[in-house]
Structure 1
Amino acid sequence: MDVGAVVCDVFGTVVDWRTGVAREAARLLGPDVDAVAFADAWRARYRPSMEWVRSGGRPFVPLDVLHRESLPSALAEVGVAAVPDDVADELVLAWHRLDPWPDAVPGLTRLRRRFVLAPLSNGGVRLQVDLARRSGLPWDLVLGAEVVGHYKPDPEVYDSAPRLLELAPSRVLMVAAHTDDLAAARSRGLRTAYVHRPHEFGGDPVPALTDPGADLSVGSFEELATALGC
């Protein structure tokens, strides 16, 4: 595969959002709140909040703003009426403190020996920088939604990677654990690799083992690095 750059979805693909958000919720909200149910409730508001931007219903704002706005209803779903502003702000920063899957850093480090490496995420620039600094994610640069003012799966996000990296779309490999993300990338001419993440939602539901439309389907970033000769 003639690839010059590897760009990655982050939430669920590189980092374990569910465990990290639940951990911070347990710390900040206390033992009487079902922290995992809260993490799931908050994540369920992720796509609808972005859709309002994508549909033109409001100007682009970074994901931190959308997370802050959807927080009260997610809290209410698990029986929390309200929290002080400082606690709400700390909860939003939970998304900046997520842990990578165990294979992510070693696999990405191998990939970076050969390819330009970047996130292509709906998370904001500062969020991606914080995740990288916290866990040693070896990005060469940050790409994604805030860079172009659009959320995936808008084509502008996928088009930005080959444009900014000065590569043909077919020389950019999009890596994700979500088949819809990969389908949108393929529609813009990018190559695609699927990473199976069976525990993203705690094992229920279990995502597909492979993506038949992808160039590669693997079980880890280390397996991807091996497949790409790294």
Structure 2
Amino acid sequence: MEEAVKQVRALVFDVFGTLVDWRGSIAREVAAVFGDRVDPFAFADDWRAQYQPAMEEVRAGRIPFCKLDRLHRRNLDIVLAQHGLQDTAEAVRVDLNLAWHRLDAWPDVAPGLQRLRARYRLAPCSNGHIALMVNLARRNSLPWDAITGAELARDYKPKPVVYLSAADAFDLAPHEVMMVAAHSSDLEAAAAAGLRTAFVARPDEHGPGLGEAQAAAAVDLSVTSVIELAERLETQG
């Protein structure tokens, strides 16, 4: 395993949950709009619950590929209705949908990425599209060398093409790229496509104690932060 990790030349990252706190950030934005008309964390959870079903429409070929903003907007309209907020004005819906472009990174992320960039090429490998990834990077000082992921692949994770297109973007073989994520299913799919894998624990992603504290799949590295990932990889020589 150590020799395999030494061959890695680029790291690609899941973003939602792994690098940014989507739940806390979305709840903050919802609270600012609706005040006490809604539980902001319940709204955030319900909005996120629509995420995978919406992408499955694309993965299954039932609808053409589209950028995540379109899926998030469709999902937002559903959740507003669920919470009795059908009277929400169109301008408010448009701005609230862009809350996904204003998510805050976990505190370890920016300094950890800066350390990693000294030795590796870095990119997100997210289901978020390029504009969304750029906006999150600029908000949180994320030092990407490129933007890879769903828009480049024209499909959504965990389809193999998403991981393979990220490796190809760097002119690297899959085994020369490490996928970093807080979700075992993401890492399992990346490993099946030939990438190396690193698990970053985010035990509070879905609320206190409701995220993954340990990987449920075999991984090359398992850490508690992006800073620890940098430290571990530095020891690999």
Could you say whether these structures have the same fold, taking a TM-score greater than 0.5 normalized by the shorter chain as the test?
yes
Alignment correspondent of 2:129: 124
Alignment correspondent of 2:33: 28
Alignment correspondent of 1:62: 67
Contact 1:33–1:78 under 8 Å retained in 2: yes
Match of 1:210 among 208, 211, 215: 215
Alignment correspondent of 1:222: 227
After superposition, the CA RMSD in angstroms is 1.2
How far apart are 1:212 and its partner, in Å? 4.7
Q: TM-score, normalised by structure 1?
A: 0.97
Q: Which runs of 5+ in 2 are unaligned?
A: none
Which amino acid in structure 2 is aligned with residue 55 of structure 1? Answer: A
Alignment correspondent of 1:165: 170
Alignment correspondent of 2:114: 109
Q: Percent identity?
A: 53
Which amino acid in structure 1 is aligned with residue 99 of structure 2? Answer: A
Q: Which runs of 5+ in 1 are unaligned?
A: none
**For residues 200 and 67 of structure 1, what CA distance do their matches in structure 2 show?**
19
Contact 1:99–1:135 under 8 Å retained in 2: yes
Note if 1:146 corresponds to 2:151: yes
Instruction: Specify the SS of the correspondent of 2:38.
Output: coil
Deviations 1:60-86 (A, max 9, x none): 000000000111221222232231111
Deviations 1:168-189 (A, max 9, x none): 1111000000000000000010
Note if 1:198 corresponds to 2:203: yes
**For residues 26 and 146 of structure 1, what CA distance do their matches in structure 2 show?**
30
Instruction: Specify the SS of the correspondent of 2:180.
Output: strand
Aligned length: 230
**For residues 197 and 161 of structure 1, what CA distance do their matches in structure 2 show?**
23
Bigger mean CA offset, 28-37 vs 157-166: 28-37
Deviations 1:191-226 (A, max 9, x none): 000000011011253424234500000000000000
Change (3 A) 1:212 1:68: closer
Instruction: Specify the SS of the correspondent of 2:36.
Output: coil
**For residues 123 and 212 of structure 1, what CA distance do their matches in structure 2 show?**
24
